Structure 1
Amino acid sequence: MNFAAKRIETLLFIGLLTLLGGSVAYGEEIYPSKPIKVVVPFPPGGATDILTRAVTEKLAVRLGQPVVIENKPGGGANIGASAVAHATPDGYTILMGSMGSHSAAISYYKTLTYNLRADLTPISRVGTIGITVLVSADNPAKNLAELISNVRAHPGDFTCGSSGTGGQIHLTCEMFKTAANLNILHIPYKGTAMLIPDLITGRVSMTLDNIPPYLQLIQTGKVKALAVTMLERSPLLPDVPTLAESGFPGFDSVAAYSFFVPTGTPKPIIDRLNKEVNAVLLDPELKLKMREQGIEIQGSTPEAVSAYLDNEITKWAKVIKEGKIAQE
């Protein structure tokens, strides 16, 4: 084949890839050529589920294949993470990872069936969700100081509910207990949906949970938000102070989420997914829709996710050690 013919052949091949929407050729298969599964390691209805479904709906359009959600809750988000870590590394199984829960698990659990850093490879940051201190509308505390005073006056009588043992919500509660030197019993639930009714009725005294599932309840006065755990106030709750403002400087717990694939997934597939995810996250309509629900979406490079994970692993290891928090 002469040079001119070879150049024409190359240009035709590039044109074919363009017509295929930038699909990545892997072996003899064009990726993606079948539905993709995204594992959410929490039950349906929670903030992570809300975020995942909104993003993957648009991602499916860009990839030209259905994206199916599979909820695999339990084990502090580690059952779902382990399932993806041990899946075939072909780009067809993706984890919506909870950066806080997975990072904390390394120090919290005695044994894990996967290695976060070795078995999972980041694709991109997807978004962050604020966490707030919540009590029932009937709770007499009007602010965080009054809540703390009431807990100290009745040690052992107060409970803190979470969406599951060992996850970020549980450990944020433990972080708060240590910072304020409080005697509070942790009560784990099988997801936020099961916790909410008991919080409304006061059966569980409080929770430090993601904002989105509670937003309407806050707005309608069924529960009260006393503080947020991020370093900055939530745009959705501008009148609710941060824990840092409330006497706990440096207190910082924000639920951050990223997509991961099993380690060994070919780099061209990782690059394609990163490109398409970041394109989806620039959608103004999606940004507005998520912001209205307390979710800030933002993309990133895989390297940025890795650096954030390293910081989270260090932070939660310190919280668990200083609080002498043992696996329940």
Structure 2
Amino acid sequence: MKVLSKIFKLTLASFALSSALTATATAQDAYPSKPIKVVVPFPAGGATDILTRAITEKLAQRIGQSVIIENRPGAGANIGAATVAKAAPDGYTLLMGSIGSHSISVTYHKDPGYSFQKDLLPISMAGTLSNIVVVGNEVPAKNLAELVAYAKANPGKLSCGSSGTGGLIHLTCEMFKSAAGIDVLHVPYKGTSLLMPDLISGRVTMALDTLPPYLSMLKDKKVRALAITTAKRSPLVPDVPTVAESGYPGFESVASYGFFAPAGTPKAIVDKLNKEINVVLLDPQLKEKLLAQGIEIEGSTPEALQAFVKGEIDKWARVIKTSNIKPE
């Protein structure tokens, strides 16, 4: 009887496990069965928000469920990211991560409230935003080599403006200063809009800022672009050479964006999201629409995004350490 009882209990346990696995598989097959929320850790109207809304509008059509955008700005994008990191790992709360910001936060902020690598699961890359080396018309340099020569002839007299200490623009400037071996003063502003007038007037020498806000200024010849910080030239400014081809091989800085889910999200759900997002990113109309905003969209596998994140974390950690940058 004891043997039969034991067999009966094992059978029940096996049945329960099988039922649980079947229920889980069924739930994943039915995913999504309700609206998905995507957290944008920046204010509405910015590049991250524009990119997210454009992609998720198409994604909602494909998956047959609404995709709701929730803007949760603050603390260098850490508030929104921490919200997703602590959410239920069921595929219904996602993050549009600005990889530049979040990979910097890992080193720059001692306690961002979550672990970017441990608490967030990569789904797919979404797109990139180019940065450019731009100078005011008062600067005599017509290319990057001339700018470096000008800086070396005037050590400590030139300045590099950014949209705030510890951000991607600041660190890109520091990375270029280190690569070029020049002494340039960093001048932080509370946003690009406050930096621009000083760049035009000559009160600040240069910036290594995101491309879109400067497109109209470049067209009106209020400022000059000397180089672009991406690995290849941008179709928006095809005549502007890259920093790498201007004498600094391997130099690259982009504002990159990707979709992430809370750690523990089932692989079947991650794989389904990856597939649907990558199909959306192939849409030629979407590509054209976002390129007009300066954003080049591209997808990836989860594994490729994970490798990219690691590379970005390592790169910006070196810059922070080399430049001895401390949180304000």
> Which range, TM-score by smaller chain?
0.7 to 0.9
- The residue that corresponds to 2:97 in the other structure is 97
Give the letter aligned to residue 117 of structure 2: R
- Given that 2:32 and 2:65 are in contact with CA atoms closer than 8 Å, whether structure 1 keeps it comes out as no
Give the letter aligned to residue 63 of structure 1: I
- The residue that corresponds to 2:3 in the other structure is none
- Given that 1:75 and 1:165 are in contact with CA atoms closer than 8 Å, whether structure 2 keeps it comes out as no
- Given that 1:46 and 1:213 are in contact with CA atoms closer than 8 Å, whether structure 2 keeps it comes out as no
Deviation at 1:115, TM superposition (A): 0.5
Give the letter aligned to residue 53 of structure 1: R
1:322 aligns to 2:325 (yes or no): no
Q: d(CA) in 1 for partners of 2:53 and 2:195?
A: 22
Deviates more, 1:278-287 or 1:46-55: 46-55
Deviates more, 1:72-81 or 1:220-229: 72-81
Kindly tell me: are residues 225 and 43 of structure 1, through their superposed partners in 2, closer, same or farther at Cα, counting changes over 3 Å?
farther
Corresponding residue SS for 1:269: helix
Give the letter aligned to residue 68 of structure 2: V
Corresponding residue SS for 2:65: coil
Structure 1: which 5+ residue stretches go unaligned? 1-23
- The residue that corresponds to 1:10 in the other structure is none
1:286 aligns to 2:282 (yes or no): no
- The residue that corresponds to 2:310 in the other structure is 310
TM-score (norm 2): 0.81
4+ aligned runs moved over 6 Å, structure 1:
none
Corresponding residue SS for 1:317: helix
Give the letter aligned to residue 56 of structure 1: T
1:26 aligns to 2:24 (yes or no): no
Q: How many residues are paired up?
A: 304
Q: d(CA) in 1 for partners of 2:212 and 2:260?
A: 23
- The residue that corresponds to 1:85 in the other structure is 85
Deviates more, 1:84-93 or 1:174-183: 84-93
- The residue that corresponds to 2:21 in the other structure is none
Structure 2: which 5+ residue stretches go unaligned? 1-24
Aligned residue runs from structure 1 range 1-328, under 5 A: 26=27, 31-34=32-35, 36-328=36-328
Give the letter aligned to residue 242 of structure 2: T
Superposed CA deviations along residues 79-121 of structure 1, whole A, max 9, x for unmatched, are 3222221233332322111223322322233332110111001
- The residue that corresponds to 1:8 in the other structure is none
Corresponding residue SS for 2:89: coil
Q: CA RMSD in A?
A: 2.7
Q: d(CA) in 1 for partners of 2:60 and 2:254?
A: 27
Corresponding residue SS for 1:26: helix
- Given that 2:166 and 2:325 are in contact with CA atoms closer than 8 Å, whether structure 1 keeps it comes out as no
Give the letter aligned to residue 39 of structure 1: V
Deviation at 1:38, TM superposition (A): 2.2
Deviation at 1:297, TM superposition (A): 1.4
Q: d(CA) in 2 for partners of 1:176 and 1:274?
A: 34
- Given that 1:46 and 1:193 are in contact with CA atoms closer than 8 Å, whether structure 2 keeps it comes out as no
TM-score (norm 1): 0.81
Kindly tell me: are residues 258 and 148 of structure 1, through their superposed partners in 2, closer, same or farther at Cα, counting changes over 3 Å?
same
Sequence identity percentage: 62
Give the letter aligned to residue 278 of structure 1: N
